[in-house]
């Protein structure tokens, strides 16, 4: 039995802690007490700890007793939190999805003999693991990932609920989107190239450009066509564009009645309540991954992975927490069991290249009711 610290007791962090507590000694930490108390109701055998990751020296000292750290903090805290964990010479799985380049910390991880797997959620995360697996088996020319997490009940005007903090979602809507087309990196505005797509389980959704390829741009430069799009209910993009173009996402403070206010901080505070996913509220995660290329026989092949996962009433766990969290806990176990023990910073595709790791993660998710449906055909 290993000792694990989960940093961040939000919806996903708590799910990670509860899952790992089935076979490990787990401490769940946060700078607020309330989410820790909520997690204890679901899983009384958790240990809890209040931690402020911005107090770096005390945070690093608090990591001493643990074999593995899982970082589930908001994105704006992610990079510095990861750096502290590496400086403390601790293995880590990270799902904070921060905007900075994690590979900048690669030498630090190697010097300190640390294994760090970053972007370890559903997308980025499981999509990368799948691509990494097939990159070893076929000559890929196209990779597409369409993904979204949405409430079953649509509420006007946004038709959306966020399992993460609104500031992280807004960052996704404002950061330029990069994709690869005919071997060339293309940069476009987020929310651009909106298109309608049909899904068997849910009907029509809209897909738009977002910066979800992340590490794949650098680790898979030989694949000439790669893109990732976010899925929402039709109409969502238009309302987000209104907010964006009206200045609600600007970070520069403005004066209101003599007081200085940051528009994005104000917007995030308002949307926190509007987008808050209520306890036991039914939602789903939907993802489609398309991979095309040539097999060893030189034949053109198309491989598709489909995911449709819903809120689990038995465990009272949201789908986004399950699909994100269980990917992270599967990888945590791979590290703890010494199945994956290379030192450095690793995006998930570099773990997925190993058949044993790929199969472990897929089976781990399946055991927890998260099923990726695969179809394959010769073109």
Q: What is the pLDDT of residue 120?
A: 96
Residue 32 lies in a domain: yes
- Span 57-92, pLDDT tens digits: 999 999 999 999 999 999 899 999 999 999 999 999
130 and 263 co-located in one domain: yes
Residue 294 lies in a domain: yes
Helix, strand, or coil (residue 313)? coil
Cα end-to-end distance, the chain, whole Å: 48
151 and 195 co-located in one domain: yes
Kindly indicate the confidence band of residue 278, based on its pLDDT and cuts at 50, 70 and 90. Answer: confident
Q: What is the pLDDT of residue 273?
A: 86
209 and 228 co-located in one domain: yes
CB-hemisphere CA count at 13 Å for 234? 9
Query: 42 to each of 49, 221, 297, how far by Cα in Å?
Result: 16, 44, 52
- Span 237-252, pLDDT tens digits: 999 999 999 999 999 9
202 dihedral zone (left: phi>0; alpha: psi -120 to 50; beta): alpha
- Span 337-376, pLDDT tens digits: 999 999 999 999 999 999 999 999 999 999 999 999 999 9
Greatest distance between any 2 Cα atoms in the chain: 71
Query: 287 to each of 10, 35, 233, 339, how far by Cα in Å?
Result: 23, 29, 14, 28
Query: 291 to each of 28, 135, 150, 226, 249, how far by Cα in Å?
Result: 37, 10, 24, 9, 35
Residue 290 lies in a domain: yes
Compute the distance between CA of residue 93 and CA of residue 74 in angstroms, rounded to an integer. Answer: 14
- Structural domain span for residue 347: 3-121+320-372
- Span 198-214, pLDDT tens digits: 999 999 999 999 999 99
Compute the distance between CA of residue 306 and CA of residue 126 in angstroms, rounded to an integer. Answer: 12
Residue 26 lies in a domain: yes
Helix axis angle, 34-42 relative to 11-20, nearest 10°?
Answer: 40
Q: Closest by alpha carbon to 73, among 48, 95, 99, 40?
A: 95
Residue where one domain finishes, among candidates 310, 342, 362: 310
347 and 296 co-located in one domain: no
The model carries a pTM of 0.94
pLDDT at residue 162 greater than cutoff 90: no
43 C-beta neighbours (distance < 10 Å), count: 17
Residue 244 lies in a domain: yes
Compute the distance between CA of residue 1 and CA of residue 26 in angstroms, rounded to an integer. Answer: 10
Backbone angles phi, psi at 107, to 5 degrees: -65, -35
281 and 145 co-located in one domain: yes
CB contact at 8 A, 13 and 29: no
> How many domains does one find in the chain?
2
CB contact at 8 A, 60 and 87: yes
Backbone angles phi, psi at 28, to 5 degrees: -105, 130
299 and 361 co-located in one domain: no
Compute the distance between CA of residue 351 and CA of residue 202 in angstroms, rounded to an integer. Answer: 32
Compute the distance between CA of residue 220 and CA of residue 167 in angstroms, rounded to an integer. Answer: 29
Mean pLDDT of 268-281: 87
Query: 178 to each of 211, 227, 286, how far by Cα in Å?
Result: 6, 8, 22
Which token pair is 364?
Answer: 């781990």
- Three-class SS string for 108-127? HHHHCCCEEECCCEECCEHH
139 and 96 co-located in one domain: no
Residue 11 lies in a domain: yes
Residue 315 lies in a domain: no
153 and 263 co-located in one domain: yes
Q: How is residue 176 annotated by DSSP?
A: P
196 and 130 co-located in one domain: yes
20 C-beta neighbours (distance < 10 Å), count: 25
DSSP string, 189-247: -TT-S-EEEEETTTEEEEEEE-S--TTHHHH-TT-SEEEEEEEE-TTHHHHHHHHHHTT
Compute the distance between CA of residue 98 and CA of residue 163 in angstroms, rounded to an integer. Answer: 16
15 and 46 co-located in one domain: yes
Q: How is residue 122 annotated by DSSP?
A: B
Helix axis angle, 263-274 relative to 166-174, nearest 10°?
Answer: 120
Residue 379 lies in a domain: no
Compute the distance between CA of residue 96 and CA of residue 214 in angstroms, rounded to an integer. Answer: 13
pLDDT at residue 279 greater than cutoff 90: no
CATH classification at residue 180: 3.30.360.10
Query: 158 to each of 131, 310, 346, how far by Cα in Å?
Result: 32, 20, 35
Q: How is residue 34 annotated by DSSP?
A: H
CATH classification at residue 100: 3.40.50.720
Portion of the chain with pLDDT greater than 70, in percent? 99
76 and 21 co-located in one domain: yes
116 and 134 co-located in one domain: no
């Amino acid at each position: 039995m290993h000792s694990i610290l989960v940093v961040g007791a939000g919806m996903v962090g708590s799910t990670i802690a509860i899952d790992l507590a089935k076979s490990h000694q787990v401490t769940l930490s946060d700078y607020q007490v309330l989410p820790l108390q909520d997690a204890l109701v679901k899983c009384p055998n958790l240990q809890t700890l209040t931690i402020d990751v911005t107090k770096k020296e005390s945070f690093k000292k608090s990591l001493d007793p643990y074999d593995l750290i899982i970082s589930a903090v908001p994105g704006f805290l992610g990079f510095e939190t990861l750096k502290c964990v590496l400086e403390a010479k601790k293995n880590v799985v990270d799902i904070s999805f921060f905007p900075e380049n994690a590979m900048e910390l690669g030498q630090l991880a190697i010097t300190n003999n640390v294994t760090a797997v970053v972007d370890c959620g559903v997308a980025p995360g499981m999509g990368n693991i799948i691509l990494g697996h097939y990159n070893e088996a076929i000559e890929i020319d196209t990779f597409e990932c369409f993904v979204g997490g949405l409430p079953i009940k649509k509420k006007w005007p946004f038709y959306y609920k966020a399992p993460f903090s609104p500031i992280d979602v807004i960052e996704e809507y404002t950061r330029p989107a990069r994709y690869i087309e005919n071997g060339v990196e293309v940069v476009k505005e987020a929310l651009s190239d909106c298109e309608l797509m049909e899904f068997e389980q849910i009907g029509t959704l809209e897909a738009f450009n977002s910066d979800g390829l992340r590490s794949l741009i650098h680790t898979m430069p030989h694949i000439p066509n790669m893109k990732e799009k976010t899925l929402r209910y039709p109409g969502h993009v238009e309302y987000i564009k209104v907010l964006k173009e009206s200045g609600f996402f600007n970070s520069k403070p403005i004066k209101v009645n003599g007081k200085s206010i940051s528009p994005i901080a104000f917007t995030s505070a308002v949307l926190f309540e509007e987008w808050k996913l209520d306890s036991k509220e039914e939602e789903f995660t939907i993802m489609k991954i398309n991979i095309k290329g040539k097999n060893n026989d030189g034949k053109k092949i198309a491989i598709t992975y489909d995911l449709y996962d819903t809120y689990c009433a038995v465990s009272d766990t949201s789908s986004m927490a399950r699909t994100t969290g269980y990917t992270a806990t599967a990888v945590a176990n791979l590290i703890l069991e010494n199945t994956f023990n290379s030192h450095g910073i690793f995006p998930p595709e570099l773990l997925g290249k190993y058949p044993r790791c790929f199969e472990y993660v897929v089976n781990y998710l399946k055991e927890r009711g998260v099923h990726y449906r695969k179809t394959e055909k010769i073109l």
